Amino acid sequence: MPELPEVEAAKRLMERGCVGKRIERVVAAKDDKVFEDASPDDVRRALEGRRVVAAHRKGKYLWLELDNPDGLWPLLHFGMTGGIVVQNMGATKYKRIHLASNPDEWPPRFTKLELDLEGGAKVAFVDVRRFGRVKLLANPSAQEPLSKLGFDVLDELPPLEQFIAAVRKRVARAPGLKIKALLLDQEFCSGIGNWVGDEVLYQARIHPEQSAASLGDSALAALRESIRSVVTQAVELEADVDRFPPEWLFHHRWNSRKPGSINGHKIEFVTVGSRTSAFVPALQKLQGPRTGAAKKKKTASDSEEEEEEEEEEEEEEEEEEEEEE
């Protein structure tokens, strides 16, 4: 699933390919699942003829600011396999999915939104599995879902003292909350998903089932530094997984049916907050008693993310079976 590094790379791609240009033509697919409360004509009327002023991102959301301050702007969530393709410039990169596998094909297969801009630039929002979402909102940053997001872990990571205070305040309401579940809570911090969460905890040497309330100041300092380091490096490398440091857990965490090893240490998997977490028991030791996560009221967004996770795991199993054959 696209996480902050992939969406930030898409934002920067949009900045290079779209900002300052006028949208001359809009083609939106008739897809009620991807386009929430907006018909193809609604999308065309909102975007056609407008100039792109800026591209913005918070957490895993991306939106375009247009030259109509009181108008509707497009807000995108990539879901499980969504992404941006800018013709002759680049595409969102994933470990297993190539959104622009045929450079001579335009629009790319599975395109949901196509923009033709002045000067010949062409942009497409592509979504293979249809878990992505496109909304039209006035001033998206002031409305849900953006207004409910916690601090962005790239642009808004608090100083250490404030970070520790934020964790303490959050776990005071849910003393049994596990640290992996806290990292995945977009209302606490936005942008971390499953692979970033696993990498952050691996590098901080914290077990994903560790109670967040049990972590001391030194462990939280290591956690904050790991968040900063992992996210910053992934963004600097444009979310190109082939360029990620070879010592990262990322390269070894994708096969839950055949757990591998990293530097001679076995990788295991555990379910935390309905998500499958990879960790290295020899390095990430559970300190103290296991504590069950406090129950949190499930939202529609939570259910959708769980559905995406289940789809992702099923896809991984199918690919593993193909490799065995």
Q: What amino acid positions are annotated as catalytic residues?
A: 2-3, 60
Q: What does residue 214 show for φ and ψ, rounded to 5 degrees?
A: -85, -10
d(CA 262, CA 277): 15
d(CA 272, CA 259): 17
Residue type, 179: I
39: tokens are 């018909």
Residue type, 69: P
d(CA 74, CA 189): 23
Nearest to 34 by CA among 71, 72, 69, 83: 83
| Alpha carbon separation from 189 to 4, 227, 255 (Å, rounded) | 11, 11, 27
Residue type, 159: P
d(CA 145, CA 117): 28
